[in-house]
Amino acid sequence: MAEETIFSKIIRREIPTDILYQDDLVTAFNDIHPQAPTHILIIPNHLIPTCNEVKASDEKALGRMITVAAKLAAEAGIAENGYRLIMNCNQHGGQEVYHIHMHLVGGEPLGPILNGHLQN
């Protein structure tokens, strides 16, 4: 697995990205290929390649990802109508960047299917 990803460069602000939120644990920014009107990526600031590598010591960062998602959903005006949080793991799960990340997707009715895959 990678030790450095494009997300690592975004966290360090080496790649110009419109950072929506950043603290000592997580960073959030708009997805460059949005699947809905609101599509934000929320990532831990330290590299965890997949959900399979999550440790108990990562729980604070993972919890922060969810609280930041709720904050950003409220700021985007999508909290009341609803949104979806998605994390993919490995190839069959659709993971493309091997630095775990949560997709915050909303702003329109999403239905049971997003991007051709069931999201249950």
pLDDT digits (tens, 9 = 90+) for 16-38: 999 999 999 999 999 999 999 99
CATH number of the domain to which 85 belongs: 3.30.428.10
Rounded CA separation 117/94 (Å): 9
Domain assignment present for 119: no
Q: For residue range 49-95, what is the model confidence (pLDDT) as tens digits?
A: 999 999 999 999 999 999 999 999 999 999 999 999 999 999 999 89
Residue 58 has a pLDDT of: 97
Rounded CA separation 43/102 (Å): 6
Sheet containing strand 38-44, strands side by side? 19-22, 26-30, 38-44, 102-106, 83-86
The answer to whether residue 39 is catalytic is no
| Domain count for the chain | 1
What's the burial of 73, exposed, middle or buried (CB within 10 Å: 0-12/13-18/19+)? buried
The model's pTM: 0.89
Domain assignment present for 114: no
Domain assignment present for 116: no
Express as a percent the part of the chain with pLDDT over 90: 84
Range of the domain at 32: 6-109
Q: Tokens representing 26?
A: 């997580």
Domain assignment present for 117: no
Express as a percent the part of the chain with pLDDT over 70: 92
Please identify which of the residues 33, 39, 99, 101 carries the catalytic annotation.
Answer: 101
Cβ–Cβ < 8 Å for 45, 56: no
Domain assignment present for 120: no
Question: At residue 46, what is the residue type?
Answer: H
Q: Tokens representing 14?
A: 């080496």
Domain assignment present for 115: no
